Amino acid sequence: MSGACTYDVVIYIYNDSEPPPRGLRLPDCARRYALWRGLTAADFTVAAAGGGKPYFPQSPHIHFSISHSGAYWAAAFGGQPLGLDIQRHEARNHLALAKRWYHREEYAAVEQKGSACFFDIWSAKESLVKCSGEGVSPSFSAFSVLKNGVIAERCGPWQLKLLHLADGYSACLCAENLGQVHVEQGAL
């Protein structure tokens, strides 16, 4: 694509069997995003803020979030703090995990709806704590991302958006206010 980007968030997703290797993807995607937005492409060395949230010290105006699961690696970029999570649907003891980590409303939804619901909730909760910088902690069960049994559009100050990035996976994006989201698939 050429010209200035009209999207608020761009997500780059790769099958891990595709080049470039994981270690080169983040800076390559950051440069691509910066150029697309008409921003100065700077040094994309990563540092960690309090709580472990990664950022670019030389480009603090470019926010990002990385996630990988199964065969996929993905990174989201935007002009505000954001969180992205992707989860491969795999055999697990969903109810035991939900009982430990989920709010009682979320546990009830998993009990009723099954494993796909478990992964949608996990990706929504993890995208939210990545966005806020809290990370997964015992407080993970203190809040619910559901409203009337489905993923809420807003959870406190955060907006959640379930995404379909790949078959057999759940994914969610979180930010204070999400506009348009564009997904780029494959190698650069």
Give pLDDT, residue 22: 86
pTM of the predicted structure, to 2 decimals: 0.91
pLDDT at 135 over 80: no
Name the more confident of 79 and 41.
79
Instruction: Say what the pLDDT of residue 187 is.
Output: 54
Q: What is the pLDDT of residues 58-107, one digit of tens each?
A: 999 999 999 999 999 999 999 999 999 999 999 999 999 999 999 999 99
Pairing assessment for the beta strands 150-151 and 72-78 based on DSSP bridges: unpaired
Task: Answer whether 156's CB lies under 8 Å from 59's CB.
Answer: no
Q: If one looks up domain 9-185 in CATH, what number appears?
A: 3.90.470.20
93 within 8 A of 107, measured Cβ to Cβ: no
- Report residue 72 CA to chain centroid gap: 12
- More confident call, 5 vs 73: 73
3-state secondary structure of 128: helix
Q: Are 176 and 4 in contact (CB under 8 A)?
A: no
The alpha carbons of the chain give a radius of gyration, in whole angstroms, of 16
